[in-house]
Amino acid sequence: MRIGIDICNTIADIITPLAGCLLKRGESDGLNEMLRHYHSPAVTPDIFKENPDIFSRARPLKGAAECLHMLAKEHELFYVTARPEWARQITEQWLRRNGFPKAPLIMSCNKPKVIAELGIDLMLEDAPHEIRGLRKICRVIVRKAPYNTEFPERFSWKQGVAV
């Protein structure tokens, strides 16, 4: 099976460093909105460009690397992220440094398109807007977060993933 893995908040906690940036900017409303709904107008592409350490300093979610190594024994993995192309090197270094299995890194804002092109069967994802689009194309299982309770097939890395 081909498995796609989202990065931000599926294997990397970027909520914590992003929250720090929003608070520094005095955007506490934006922070609350992000925690509830994932999206907030306060979270713009600029905030990442100006603070690339949001990506480099993100903590890996506990158990994620171990689970992905298990999955890599039987399945073909692809990292599929909407991060911008300028963050490729930071992201590749982060994956290596945090012990994640080697796999192609696909960067695209149009995940449904690349998922269809690559013939991915299953996607691990956390963001509601992405899940809605991806579900039309492949099976999606959802990394549990406060903002995605509406979806049925959710998992946490601590409990492990049944694929």
Structure tokens at 27: 């955007």
Instruction: Map tokens 């300093």 to a residue.
Output: 57
Comparison of 9 and 30: residue with beta carbon closer to Mg ion: 9
Q: How far is the CB of 26 from Mg ion (least distance, A)?
A: 25
Q: Using CB under 5 A, which of 6, 13, 27, 33 touches Mg ion?
A: 6
How far apart are alpha carbons 133 and 153 in whole angstroms?
Answer: 15
Could you say which of 3, 4, 5, 8 contacts Mg ion (CB under 5 A)? Answer: 8
Distance separating alpha carbons of residues 145 and 34, to the nearest angstrom? 11
Among 3, 4, 5, 9, binds Mg ion (CB under 5 A): 9
Give the three-state DSSP class for 145.
coil
Instruction: State which amino acid sits at residue 81.
Output: T
Closest CB to Mg ion among residues 30, 148: 148
Of the pair 13, 126, the CB lying nearest Mg ion is at: 126
Give how many residues touch Mg ion by CB under 5 A. Answer: 6
Residue 143 beta carbon to Mg ion: minimum distance, rounded to whole angstroms? 8
CA neighbor of 42 nearest in space, from 52, 50, 33, 55: 33
Closer residue to Mg ion (CB): 6 or 13: 6
Taking residue 21's Cβ as centre, other Cβ atoms within 10 Å add up to 19
In the complex with Mg ion, which residue's Cβ is closer, 51 or 73? 51
CB 161 within 8 A of CB 154: no
Per the structure block, which two tokens stand in for 61?
Answer: 């979610």
Residue nearest to Mg ion (CB): 8
Positions in 119-158 near Mg ion (CB under 5 A): 126-127
Pick the piece of the chain touching Mg ion (CB under 5 A) from 5-13, 24-32, 33-41, 115-123.
Answer: 5-13
